[in-house]
Amino acid sequence: MIAGCIDRWALCSQNTVIRSFCRPRTAFRVIIILIIIWTIIPIHLSIFFSNDTGRCIALPGTYALFYAIYLLIFIGILPLFLMILFSLLAWHNLQLIRSRVRPTDAATTGNRTRNIQIHKRDRDLMKMLSGEVFVYCLTTIPYPINLIYSVSTSSIAAYKSPMRLAIESLIGYIISPFLNFMYCCTQFYGKKNNELEKKFSCHIF
């Protein structure tokens, strides 16, 4: 998801070196690097997780708190920050492009039409980026927050009322797996998105 936002930022850049990151060859390399990195980073899960109870859960104690903080950083804070950052940078690039190619003779019909098309493409791209960030916040960030709450209140679990336990169980089910599955099924990439990218590429070049 972060790589997708970086790709949009590079696509809108006026720097030819940055735009070169949008090439398919570079995309393949990034995919390979991401696979390697995200195979190494969560390797601790295979050591400190247990399924003795029939469920794959983190071992209680210090690691459970570490795992909650790990999820908060790598799923909550860091991805959201990077997606917002590169979305804003993409918006800034679009503003620069718009000021550079603004028609000088706005009285003619052709120039007015072209100006409207440029503004529409800008809005379409920013809507797509904003939608991606919003869906990520809605479906993913609640999970690490709920996990931190569960870990921090585990010491008083025996004193929780049945109603509270039922509410926490319902919230936990809504957050995971329901919202996580929803995020995996919600995507912003298709024929319309590809057409938008081609228009931006031709427009920038």
> What is the pLDDT, as a whole number, of residue 100?
65
Distance CA 5, CA 153 (A): 36
Of residues 58 and 190, more confidence is placed in: 58
Distance CA 140, CA 182 (A): 9
> What is the pLDDT, as a whole number, of residue 114?
57
Asked if residue 177 has a cis previous peptide bond (ω within 30° of 0), the answer is yes
**Highest-confidence segment of 123-127, 130-134, 170-174:** 170-174
Where are the extended beta strands (E) located within the chain?
Answer: 49-50, 57-58
Q: Is the pLDDT of residue 205 over 70?
A: no
Contacts 24+ apart (CB under 8 A), 60-64: 60/154, 64/151, 64/154
Of residues 195 and 1, more confidence is placed in: 1
Distance CA 148, CA 154 (A): 10
> What is the pLDDT, as a whole number, of residue 48?
83
Q: Is the pLDDT of residue 166 over 50?
A: yes
CA-CA distances (angstroms) from residue 109 to 106, 114, 147, 204? 8, 9, 58, 22
Number of neighbouring beta carbons within 10 Å of residue 21: 17
Sign of CA dihedral 148, 151, 154, 157: positive
Domain definitions of the chain by residue range: 2-49+58-101+110-198
Distance CA 205, CA 194 (A): 17
**For residue 116, what pLDDT band results from cuts at 50, 70 and 90?**
low
